[in-house]
Amino acid sequence: MDWYREISKAEKRTLWGCFAGWALDGVDTQVFSLVIPTLIATWGIGKGQAGLIGGATLVAGALGGLLAGVLSDRIGRVKALQVTVLWFSLFTFLSAFAQNFEQLLVLKSLQGLGFGGEWTAGAVLLGETIRAKHRGKAMGIVQSAWGFGWAGAVLLYMIVFSWVSPEWAWRVLFAVGLLPASLVIYMRRNIEEPPREIKPAEQGEAHRPSALAILAGIFHPSVLRTTIVGALIGLGAHGGYHAITTWLPTYLKTERHLSVLGTGGYLAVVISAFIIGCFVSAWLQDKIGRRKNVILFAICCAVTVNVYVFLPVGDVAMLLLSFPLGLFSAGIPATLGALFNELYPQGVRGTGVGFCYNFGRVVSAVFPVLVGHMGNSMPIGQALGIDAGIAYGLVVVAALLLPETKGRRIATVPAQAASNEHSPKHV
């Protein structure tokens, strides 16, 4: 941890502020997946309705990520992060008072705008605060916070459901979602806005670019190629991930008849693998570079999935294989924050990061659908293997079209950090 001792207090405060935000974001988001059986039993809703709430939340999250990127370019990184944390905390809390399916659908969708936006605002703030040679490590470590939040949601679920009756326990869990709002107090006192070429406060409202103008900026000829290729990486990364999470458990349970999928041990392995994968990627991307890291993890994901579906796998082997699969699938998103930050100029950086990451989240829905359609004419396992190969192959090809950005200094790196960099490059 020599690198951690090297960074400044301001960098450390931002690192832990973003880590806490993403962890609490993970708690609030994962709680819903844990209470789905309770909602089905309590309200008598169908699995399709429960799935609709989850799907609407994810789509809203992608839209929120794009909007937060534009907002961070317009009013500043810290303010945008504060807005998104307050937003998802408030609507998580209000979800506790939903009286029917329709109300919960609306409230969860509004919550999604906040949790999707929080990732984008935090990623840009962290990317512009941490010095270049440690940016990858910091981004990867903060990405692991989602895994800690996931584990926290499971622990909270176990505690609340052991003390409160199910018809009230799910409401208590959502009500607890208001707690992340207290993080805004820490942000206001401890996290500084990264230096900007022209601060929004100095521009004045009359001279501040409109949201539409900022959004149009990522399609300017000077960065259009970056936007297209970055969006393709986001599409492949999310497409492969959603295809796996949607179809692999179903395939292993219904066609391979494996029972370990529903056990706590399986969940513990997956969460641990995600956290460790983020740490491995954090260290590796600052060693070998962003492009090589993304390509390496994408290839490993495709190979591991195909081992799953084409080789005979029993309960024990499946449990063991779930670790590398979780590790490799975490490595790609743990790299994207640093990579996308380093590809864009300051004025449209938030918008570019938000678009590349969240375009993939929305359009990636085509990959699980494709598996289902292919499964009509071939075994579902074979369809999944091919689909994952296509998705992660897209990541590899797109990454090869991008420049290596490791060590690239962006214009907002603090002076005390910039003085320690070697052979600086500016965006």
Domain range for 87 is 1-192
Q: Which of 176, 192, 208 is the last residue of a domain?
A: 192
* 14, part of any domain: yes
3-class DSSP string for 330-367: HHCHHHHHHHHHHHCCHHHHHHHHHHHHHHHHHHCCHH
Torsion of CA 121, 362, 52, 159, to 10 degrees: -40
Residues in contact with 392: Cβ distance below 8 Å, sequence separation at least 6, in sequence order: 236, 237, 240, 298, 299, 301, 302
Cβ neighbours of 388 (radius 10 Å)? 28
Of the candidates 13, 153, 129, 91, the residue with the CA atom closest to the CA atom of residue 409: 129
> Of 31-35, 175-179, 244-248, which one has max mean pLDDT?
175-179
Asked whether the predicted pLDDT for residue 312 surpasses 90, the reply is no
Q: Find out whether 270 and 322 touch, Cβ atoms under 8 Å.
A: yes
105 in the same domain as 17: yes
178 in the same domain as 220: no
Average pLDDT on 218-238 reads 90
DSSP category for residue 133: G
226 in the same domain as 282: yes
Asked whether the predicted pLDDT for residue 211 surpasses 80, the reply is no
* 211, part of any domain: no
Q: Is 426 helix (H, G, I), strand (E, B) or coil?
A: strand
99 in the same domain as 184: yes
405 in the same domain as 313: yes
* 201, part of any domain: no
Give residue-wise pLDDT tens across range 122-169: 888 998 898 888 999 999 999 999 889 888 888 888 899 889 888 898
Packed helices 264-288 and 145-163: angle between N→C axes, nearest 10 degrees: 160
Average pLDDT on 404-426 reads 53
Number of domains in the chain: 2
pLDDT category at 398 given cuts 50, 70, 90 is very high
Packed helices 366-374 and 380-400: angle between N→C axes, nearest 10 degrees: 140
Which CA distances in Å does 58 have to 115, 331, 360?
A: 9, 21, 12
pTM of the model: 0.81
Distance CA 56, CA 341 (A): 27
227 in the same domain as 178: no
* 10, part of any domain: yes
Q: Which of the two residues, 273 and 30, has the higher pLDDT score?
A: 273
Asked whether the predicted pLDDT for residue 332 surpasses 60, the reply is yes
278 in the same domain as 188: no
172 in the same domain as 99: yes
Q: Which of the two residues, 262 and 68, has the higher pLDDT score?
A: 68
Asked whether the predicted pLDDT for residue 427 surpasses 70, the reply is no
* 209, part of any domain: no
* 97, part of any domain: yes
Q: Which of 192, 225, 253 is the last residue of a domain?
A: 192
159 in the same domain as 237: no
Looking at residue 415, its pLDDT comes to 36
134 in the same domain as 17: yes
267 in the same domain as 175: no
- Percent with pLDDT over 90 in the chain: 19
Q: Which of 140, 160, 192 is the last residue of a domain?
A: 192
Asked whether the predicted pLDDT for residue 413 surpasses 50, the reply is no
Name which of 191-200, 211-220, 290-299, 342-351 the model is least confident about: 191-200
DSSP category for residue 420: T
365 in the same domain as 307: yes
* 384, part of any domain: yes
Name which of 45-54, 146-155, 221-230 the model is least confident about: 45-54
Give backbone dihedrals phi and psi of 426, rounded to 5 degrees, phi first.
-115, 145
* 250, part of any domain: yes
Kindly report the CATH number assigned to the domain that includes residue 233. Answer: 1.20.1250.20
